[in-house]
Structure 1
Amino acid sequence: MNAPVRRRMPAEQRRTEVIAAAVAAFADRGYAGTTTDDVARLAGVSQPYVVRMFGTKQALFLAAHAETMRRLEQAFRDAVAAAPAGQPPMQTLGIAYRELIVDRSVLRVMQHGFMLGGDPVVGPQMRRAMTSIFVVVRELTGDDDDAVASFLATGMMINVMITLEMSEHVEEEQLIARLLACVMK
């Protein structure tokens, strides 16, 4: 009996799958708690393949973080393009950001990256990522620096609340519900 012929996956498609696995792994376990072996298992490839593809765990993390930033920017651009006439752009971006909560991996990887701001290699890229978000929000809304900074501050608060899993613990503490209501309005 002939075995089915396995077609080789194009390298770019495999890279995309490995990055998706890295986003999931880093979101769950953070930078320090994730290994290239964890990512390889999730992606269904060998650990040496992941290392050959990215070189280091740090480079893999940077690729995963860049993917989350790409997804954030795309979500913002798509939301503005599809927004109902008359809806304020900042409100549109706020809705798009809250919709990202469904896939917590995006926001968690962003947060893990920002926590590495003191790292000499990762830090500069995280600072560029944050300023890039600032530029994109400014471009899409036309709002001034203060309004954009306020929007970003609320977004970072949402990230912290997600990292703390506050929505899962609303019943435990009345103040959690109050804080969530303030931030998510």
Structure 2
Amino acid sequence: MSADERRELAIKAAMAEFASGGYDGTSTAAIAERVGVSQPYMFRLFPTKRALFLAAADRCFADIETVLRDAAGGLHGKEAMTAMAEAYRRLLREDPTLLRFQLKIYGAAVGEDELARLGHHRWARLFRLVGDLSGAPPEEVVRFMAVGTLVNVLTAFQVPYVPGDDLPASLEAWSEGLRGADALDPDGR
């Protein structure tokens, strides 16, 4: 296997390991073991754990871009936005590791300048991609991205919801159904 192939395996393994343990809780030894290489060889592929995390974070966003691009296909406008939203929700269901890793990236970026710069760049790319593929104006792209972030939270907390235009009503019904029944908050808040 070539170094490029091993590097690719290392990035995929790092995404899974970091999704589970976060940056601080993941060792390069665990990633190397998952790939089937020694830890010293892992450091030949990536000179530092940080470099590996950054490569994995970059790949996470690249994978999301690919899913959105493929979903939009030759569609335009609302049809493209709907197809991208459905594909993203499907991705979260089919690959929960991606959501876990995204959430770890966001948490790690707070106070971590290099990762924040990567996220800054990648979110700009996602914003342009959604706009370019759909032809939607910036305010619609903002809504799309905001709802996508909300869907991350809803998925992480296993909140039932109906996507699309019915999302607000479904969330209102869900939250009202829990009013006064929340055993975790004895004050009923």
Which TM-score applies when normalising by structure 1? 0.80
Whether contact under 8 Å (2:28, 2:49) holds in the other structure is yes
> What is the deviation of 1:46?
1.1
What are the superposed Cα offsets for residues 45-71 of structure 1, whole Å, 9 maximum, x if unpaired?
Answer: 111111221111111011111111111
- RMSD over equivalenced CA pairs, Å: 2.4
1:177 corresponds to which letter in structure 2? P
Alignment partner for residue 160 of structure 2, among 177, 181, 184? Answer: 177
Q: Does the 8 Å CA contact 2:58/2:118 hold for their aligned counterparts? A: no
1:91-170 paired onto structure 2 within 5 Å: 91-101=82-92, 102-115=94-107, 116-162=109-155, 164=156, 166-167=157-158
CA separation in 2, counterparts of 1:109 and 1:40? 18
CA gap 1:179/1:96 in 2 versus in 1, 3 angstroms? closer
Partner residue in 2 for 1:172: none
Question: Secondary structure, in 3 states, of the residue corresponding to 1:55?
Answer: coil
Mark the runs of 5 or more structure 1 residues left unpaired by the alignment.
1-8, 168-175
> Which of 73, 79, 82 is the equivalent residue of 1:88?
79
C-alpha deviations, 1:97-118, integer Å up to 9, x for none? Answer: 0111111222222222222142
Q: Quote how far apart the aligned CAs of 1:23 are.
A: 0.8
Partners of 2:73 and 2:160 lie apart in 1 by 33
Counterparts of 1:97 and 1:177, CA distance in 2: 16
Q: Does the alignment pair 1:29 with 2:24?
A: no
Paired positions, count: 166
SS at match of 1:121: helix
Under a length normalisation based on structure 2, what TM-score does the superposition of the two structures give?
0.79
Identity of aligned residues (%): 34
Q: Supply the AA of the counterpart residue of 2:160.
A: A
Deviating above 6 A after TM superposition, structure 1's stretches of 4 or more consecutive aligned residues are none
Query: Residue type of the partner of 2:18?
Result: F
The code of the aligned residue for 1:93 comes to M
Contiguous gaps of at least 5 residues in structure 2: 172-189
